[in-house]
Copies of this chain bind each other. A is one copy, B any other.
Amino acid sequence: MSAAETLASLGEAAVLQRIFPRLPTATAELLGPGDDAAVLATPDGRVVITTDMMIHGPDFRLAWSSPRDLGWKAAASNLADVAAMGAVPTALVVALAAASDTPIAFLEEFADGLRAGCEAMAPGCGVVGGDLSVSSTLTIAVTAFGDLEGREPVLRSGARVGDIVAVSGPLGAAAEGLRLLFEHGAVTLVDGSREPDAAAAARVTREHPAAIAAQLRPHPPIADGRAAAIGGATAMLDLSDGLAIDARRLAVASGVGVDLDPAAIASPSQSSAATSPRDALDGGEDHSLLATFPAGVDLPGGFRVIGTVVEGSGVLVGGRPYERAGGWDPYEGWDGGSG
């Protein structure tokens, strides 16, 4: 592997030949990459489908994320959406657009991250197809598929008054990592602006490895999506924009209120240390699973109680309405920076 080998010097066909062997294979793959389209087995007679883009600048910084991190996170965020329907992830297709002078090693390591992420979070799930394009903005578009195994999908709209509210996975850990990176993983330029910096990020990563990993390589509890569905979950979604916003979405869809316990949301999970209630409520990108269950059930997998479903509307914390908007709107939240 030579550093001089780029996408342009190799050409599309040779690039694909280098990447294909590194990608994870899907158990449900009937026909993989190489023809006009792939064919995936869907023995249930239905397929769960979700798609998500990651854009250099608003969604990641190359001074902070390695290519392997990007592959892992692209898998994690899409697998979580499949899991949140109560389905088992079966396959991904991955489209990637990069500059012509991108080293082939970048794509190889990205493929390694996809494979590592699938193997760790959703064994049996693999990449069945994709597309390579050229762009001045590094762009990753993943579409993920899942098998409902004969069950009904778990929607956002099924929560009932009296249900318990539970979460599996960390609350606020990814946001804590992002704040640490912006505060200590960037350098101040002569014009006073801040720019992501790899050496500074390496230092803050040594001091806070868990929080940085939660941001760059989130590890949502994918198998708990299936476990929740089997365990009787009445509603579920993945926490991409933060607990307050996503719990509100569940509340609105179900026509109920969600009352969160401030002590429970700030307590440590199996996979992360305690965070501040504000990070827990407003921090996005954990991709943890938020679900409601009938009162009295034995919670499956890593789920822990953080609240109750009540009459009314919106999100409450300790019985008091929580009105802060929080979260991330791509069209309002990005300042145009990259690095």
Contact = CB atoms under 8 A, between A and B. Distances in A.
Contact of A153 (B10, B31, B153): B31
Interface stretch (A277-285, A300-308, A328-336): A328-336
A82 B13 CA distance: 21
Q: Which of A41, A135, A146 has the most CB of B within 10 A?
A: A135
A55 interface: yes
A84 B36 contact: yes
Nearest to A84: B36
Contacts of A87: 37
A82 B37 CA distance: 6
A159 to B, nearest CB: 13
Contacts of A129: 49-51
18 contacts: A7-B331, A35-B85, A36-B84, A36-B236, A41-B45, A42-B45, A49-B93, A49-B143, A50-B93, A50-B129, A51-B130, A51-B131, A53-B97, A55-B133, A57-B135, A135-B139, A139-B139, A143-B143
Contact of A134 (B43, B55, B134): B55
Interface in A37-80: 37-53, 55, 57-59, 80
Contact of A51 (B55, B143, B236, B336): B143
B36 A85 contact: yes
A156 interface: yes
A148 interface: yes
A93 B84 CA distance: 18
A16 to B, nearest CB: 11
Contact of A36 (B44, B93, B94, B238): B238
A134 to B, nearest CB: 4
Given A84-B37, A330-B12, A59 B133 contact: yes
A267 interface: no
Given A39-B48, A49-B128, A100-B331, A55 B135 contact: yes
Nearest to A55: B135
A119 B95 CA distance: 26
B55 A97 contact: yes
Contacts of A46: 30, 39-42
